[in-house]
Amino acid sequence: MTSIYLDHNATTALDSRVLDAMLPWMRGQSGNPTSRHIFGRSARAAIEHARAQVAEACGAYTSQVVFTASGTEANNFAVKGITANQTAAQVLYSAIEHPCVSRPALSLQQHGWQSRAVAVDHHGLVDTAQLKSLLEAPTGLVSVMLANNETGVIQDIAAIAEMAKRAGAFMHTDAVQGLGKLALDFTGLNVHAMTISSHKIHGPQGAAALVLDKRVDIQPLLHGGGQERGLRSGTENVAAIVGFGMACELAVANLNNFTAHTKALRDQFEQGLKSLGVTIFSNKAARIPNTSFFAVDGIEGETLVVALDRKGFAVASGSACSSDSTEPSHVLLAMGVNPDLARGAVRVSFGTQNTAAQVAELLHALQNEVLRLKQLTGMAA
């Protein structure tokens, strides 16, 4: 049985064209990018070409792109690095942030900071009235993700950033789920820092970036040889960075096709879900086009994920980084969803390789599994 992959928000397959760009830096003698000889100079040139590709993909200047090893590192870098050179005040983050933003924010309490989560409404949109109220207290940093990894909901980051700036705070956005799914414009988003990651756009794992306004005084997380303008020490992963650059170039070229194709699949899928009587979360809000988050009342999400996996469909019960947790989605709880219903949450995230025929197969399997599981639990009418 061939499994059908429907978990593209967690990670994506490496594009063959990306691999082709990487292979010369994996097979041949690659110099250290800081070396002065021809091998080192070639590696440095490859990194700078990739930096230009990444910058182009998110509407930034090359000098604003700082390479890291992961989105988690970039988010930690933003939260800890921007606050490190400030007098302790408060850091604000939305209640639906990924743990790699919320946990670094909470860790700042050890250094005299106050960390507060900003509420969201039942659609998953940030409560700007509460944010405005919280910003009346001295604030060093506000972090709000551009697109949620579970619901797919898109925030009005430019407006939120304007509120933060007026209050004298720096603004960071985790745009990991936005890259390749939305037309990113670092300047237009009005932020001081933005996180993006390679493996969400068919690039290699192990490469990401913090896009950073050059006027921001930020403290490095890693000290050493002074790579990345002294902001991220450590010998660069040339092959991964080259792959990241190529993946960004391809993502920009494919954006319109991705949007149209995955939205059509999601519309087909959610139309089919209606006959199953499921709850579709955040379907009244603007979302990235490939994401559907739903629940069947009375059926655990993990149970349904395992059942579908046995039928050949790879879906998720929430964030991949929190998949070992038995707690309900913190995103849904923040939205006011009943914990019992939240435990039933399942996420389907489509890619350009998925087809309408696969969606039809998924709906058929889902209908059968829901009926079977309800019968097992005595829920069938």
- Residues assigned a catalytic role: 321
Asked if 90 contacts 138 with a C-beta cutoff of 8 angstroms, the reply is yes
Give the count of beta carbons closer than 10 Å to the beta carbon of residue 225: 12
**Rounded CA gap, 330 and 319, in Å?**
10
C-beta neighbour count of 157 within 10 angstroms: 24
Q: What is the Cα Rg of the chain in Å? A: 21
Token digits of residue 239: 């092959």
Cβ atoms of 279 and 294 closer than 8 Å: yes
For residues 96-111, b (16+ Cβ closer than 10 Å) or e, as one string?
Answer: bbbebbbbbbbebeee
Distance of alpha carbon 131 from alpha carbon 339, whole angstroms: 25
Residues 133 and 160: beta-carbon distance below 8 Å: no
What is the SS3 string spanning 164-221?
A: HHHCCCEEEEECCCCECCECCCHHHHCCCEEEEECCCCCCCCCCEEEEECCCCCCCCC
